[in-house]
Amino acid sequence: MTTTTARIGIDRSHDLGSPVDDQAGFVAALLDPDQACPSDLRSWNGSDPTPRFAVHRNNIIVSLVDALAGQFPVTLELVGPEFFRAMAQAFIQQQPPRTRIVAFLGAPLPDFIAAFPPAAALPYLADLARLEMRRIESCHAADADVLTAENIGLAMADPQQLVNMRIALHPSVHLLSSQFAIFSLWAAHQGVHDISTVDPLLPEQVLLFRDGLDVHVLQISVCTGCFLAGLQAGATLAQPADAAANADAQDDFDLAGSMALLLRHPLVSQMEPLP
């Protein structure tokens, strides 16, 4: 029953002897504050139902904007609460949530920010929001075993097999490559260093993963990012190492360093040689 002709006074449901309701019209009016409230609303005292309907309009916007404000704290700090809330409200009105899981509500927000004209003066804002969304995804990613450094060491003992080794990264591992200094900006808001020392126009690569119950965010080199992305895509150890070595002319690929990263943090959930 999504017909918009089903208005009060037109009873189209003689089969059941009661008028229809019109949830499509209700929703359209909820999301557009300029629309009048649906005509079949009533108040017990005959008062204008508009303020009553506004309770739901307000619930929707405030609850969703509050949720986004909690999920994107650094994005909010960079633009200030007033700007952020206005932007979040525009996002919700233009792209109402397609998920019932509020934790993932903000997944389309970074793309929205990238195309949001009032935010154009802060070109790094979309990628920074992307980093914050990846943190949420990493936090809630599926649980999986992680190999200890000892297990990895044993698996690597045979150099013949090593080149054909396929390494599965933990589901919480996320990589993010940006033209902007999103790690440094994010870290400044964690109190790691003074934001005035950050040049936002320098490219940075970020690695996110869960260690125990906490999400860790690390800055990595272009080559290491390329190497880990290759592993994530299912390549054997040799292939991404080659690709990484050619990834950045200014940045020599440090295979030993990248392998040390795999040993130091709980990034690897499986290692097995190709048959």
Q: Name the site residues for another protein (rule: CB under 8 A).
A: 1-2, 8, 13, 16-21, 23-24, 26-27, 30, 40-53, 55-56, 59-60, 63-64, 67, 96-104, 139-144, 171-172, 210, 213-214
27 or 255: CB nearest another protein:
27
61 or 76: CB nearest another protein:
61
* Smallest distance from another protein to CB 232, Å: 17
Tokens of 209: 């993963």
* Smallest distance from another protein to CB 133, Å: 14
* Smallest distance from another protein to CB 240, Å: 25
Integer angstrom CA distances of residue 47 from 50, 52, 57, 59, 202 = 9, 10, 18, 21, 59
101 or 256: CB nearest another protein:
101
* Smallest distance from another protein to CB 172, Å: 7
46 or 117: CB nearest another protein:
46
171 or 273: CB nearest another protein:
171
* Smallest distance from another protein to CB 265, Å: 16
Other C-beta atoms lying within 10 Å of the C-beta of residue 55: 9
Give the Cα separation of 144 and 166 in Å (integer).
17
Kindly tell me the burial class for residue 151, based on how many C-beta atoms sit within 10 Å of its own C-beta (0-12, 13-18, 19 or more).
middle
Give the Cα separation of 206 and 128 in Å (integer).
11
Per-residue b or e along 165-194, where b marks 16 or more CB atoms closer than 10 Å to that residue's CB: bebbbbbbbbbbebebbbbbbbbbeeeeee
